[in-house]
Amino acid sequence: MSEELRLSSRETRGKAGLRRFGMVIDLRRCIGCDACMVACKAEYDVPLGVFRTWVPTRVVGKYPTVKKQFLPRLCNHCDDPPCVRACPVGATFKVEDGGFVLQHYDRCIGCKACMASCPYNARFMLPEHRTRSSITSVVDKCTFCYHRVIQNLVPACVQTCVGRARIFGDMNDPKSEVSRLVARHSTQVLRPEQGTKPQVFYIGADRNMSEYGRGVYDASEALDDERAVFNRNYKN
């Protein structure tokens, strides 16, 4: 006996007539070239020290059997986003048709509740001074390139990915490439236990990269040094 899927008021999974954009990141194809990070920086003039998308790298194994792992990260455009719930003034909102989680920059008060509530660290504070943009001192994040997608283009990071590791499309359309990939492959999402229903799916993600590791407690000297430099140069 099958049970009907019950959704929260924000979720659009399987809702007729509504698109739900998602991304599949096939880690078997990612070569860690960071072109996605560069394309994103160029598309939005993302300031130094913060990222809308970033690619953490880790070398695992013991010489000579070592390998490099990548886990491209970005806003997961959750179907049930905690940041939307946390924002007291409606500055963070979800677009019903498409599922984009976006920002009203002119409404954001900078309380950082959305940053505190995001399990994916996808949000950051824009600096006070920017050269080519008047949007400053508000919270920002990946938009899934909303401005491109509504013109039937794919996000900049997807467009630029040389290995075609990033695939973008409508998860509510069973014929889309992303739907077929998710249906045919074993996929992982980050922090599934949080119930946020992320719309970024990984193929071949290693738990070493996707879960909290004990390594940060007894961090290597190099990590601590990098951390100190970051703390010195980046102020909220």
Partner 1 sequence: MLDFTVFHTIAWPSAYSVYFFVIGISVAMFFFSTLSWYREEFQPLRQSGLYLSFALLVFGGLLLISDLSQPARFLNMLNPAYLKFDSPLAWGSLNLASFGLVSALYILMIRSGNGTNGKRLAVVGALIGLGLPIYTGFDLTVHQHRPVWNTPLMPILFVALSLLSGAAVASFLARGNEKLMAMLRSFMLWSGGATAAMLVSLLGTTAYGGTGAEITFMFMTSGTMGLIFIGLGMVLGLIVPIGLLLAPVGRQPVGMMAAGALLLVGGMALRYAILIGPQIVHTYY
| Binding positions for partner 1, rule: CB under 8 A | 51, 54-59, 68, 73, 82, 84-90, 107-113, 115-117, 119, 121, 124-125, 137-139, 191, 194-195, 211-214, 216-217, 219-220, 222-223, 226-227, 230-231, 234, 236
54/146 with CB nearer partner 1: 54
96 vs 230 by CB, closer to partner 1: 230
Q: Which residue has the tokens 């290693």?
A: 206
Q: Report the distance separating Cα 49 and Cα 234, nearest Å.
A: 7
> What is the pairing mode between strands 92-94 and 101-103?
antiparallel
Provide long-range contacts, Cβ within 8 A and 24+ apart, for 109-114.
Answer: 110/137, 110/138, 110/139, 112/139, 112/236, 113/86, 113/87, 113/88, 114/83, 114/86, 114/87, 114/139
For residues 153 and 216, which CB has a smaller minimum distance to partner 1 in the complex?
216
Report the nearest approach of partner 1 to the CB of residue 121 (Å). Answer: 5
Dihedral sign (CA 68, 37, 56, 78):
negative
The DSSP string of 119-163 is TT---EEPPS--SS-S--SSEE----SHHHHTTT---HHHHH-TT
At closest approach, how far in Å is the CB of 77 from partner 1? 17
Shortest Cβ 175–partner 1 spacing (Å): 34
Question: Minimal distance in Å, beta carbon 66 to partner 1?
Answer: 9
Q: State in angstroms the smallest separation of the CB of 52 from partner 1.
A: 11
What is the C-alpha to C-alpha distance for residues 124 and 109, in angstroms, rounded to an integer? 14
Closer residue to partner 1 in complex, CB, 14/121: 121
What are the residues facing 60 on neighbouring strands?
A: 67
For the record, the structure tokens of 214 come out as 């004990």
Shortest reach from residue 132's CB to partner 1, in Å = 20
* Among 143, 106, 108, CA closest to 122: 143
Nearer to partner 1, 10 or 180 (CB): 10
Q: Closer CB to partner 1, residue 105 or residue 148?
A: 105
When the beta carbons of 17 and 212 are compared against partner 1, the nearer one is 212
At its nearest, how many Å lie between partner 1 and the CB of residue 22? 21
